[in-house]
Amino acid sequence: MTNRPPQRAKRPCLVGSCKDFASNKGYCDQHQDRIKKKDRERGTAYQRGYDARWEKDRTKFLDENPLCADHRKRGMIEAATVVDHIIPHKGDQVLFWDKNNWQPLCKSCHDRKTATEDRGSWSPVQSPSKANRDSKNEFNTGDFVCAATGYAIDSLDCKFTDQFMVTAVAANMVEVSDADGFVHRLHHSHFKAVTV
């Protein structure tokens, strides 16, 4: 008998009515066409605002902020290669160009953040959100929270009983750190307060 490391549990296909397991980018083999559809809806980089002006401002920002913010928070040093929008802009040009909403990240931290926050895509045609965007954020820095939705469980790779300390609050977004020190930002409706 060989000692093999435990395998991660298979994730269900993102198509709600599908009973199969995901094989690529969240979809089963039967629903792979959904990936191409999402890419078409997303538009080109230019359509999303990543043009010559962006490239110039991005280069200047990285020259002024050369280290990855997430690595720095964990006491590590890594070169930043990506300018990340702290709050995803989703096509909002004011938020897109707000330099207070920019942070320097390395590619791996940016990819992880994008995957956990918005599953790596946005569409110029806004689809209805499951989060209650009109609800009031009752959390404060220092509060302890647990994941309250399946989306949060997947994003944080945790159990419903795992507790996280709120490290920052911005409008309706709550920032927590996981056991590995990675920062996650999710809408507050994905969390519930830890009751003592």
- Dihedral, CA of residue 60, residue 62, residue 65 and residue 67, to nearest 10: -170
105 with 155, same domain? no
Q: What pLDDT is recorded for position 126?
A: 39
Residues 60 and 103 in one domain: yes
Mean pLDDT computed over 75-81: 90
Q: Based on the domain organization, do 57 and 101 belong to the same domain? A: yes
pLDDT band at residue 80 under the 50/70/90 scheme: very high
Structure confidence by residue, pLDDT tens digits, 117-176: 655 444 444 343 445 556 777 888 888 888 887 777 777 777 778 888 888 888 788 888
Range of the domain at 101: 52-118
80 lies in some domain: yes
Give residue 178's pLDDT. Answer: 75
Which pLDDT does position 131 carry in this prediction? 52
**In angstroms, how far is the first alpha carbon of the chain from the final one?**
45
Residue 99 to residues 23, 42, 50, 57, Cα–Cα distance (Å)? 37, 23, 15, 10
Percent pLDDT > 90 in the chain is: 12
- Give the integer Cα–Cα distance in Å for 24 and 29: 8
How does pLDDT run across 4-17, given as a tens digit for each residue? Answer: 766 666 777 766 66
- Would 41 be classed as within a structural domain? no
* pLDDT (0 to 100) of residue 129: 40
Strands 183-187 and 191-193: unpaired
Residue of 90, 93, 114 lying closest to 25 (CA atoms): 114
Vertex 11 angle, CA 133 and 91, to 5°: 35
Q: Is the Cβ–Cβ distance between 59 and 49 less than 8 Å?
A: no
Which of residues 40 and 188 earns the better pLDDT score? 188
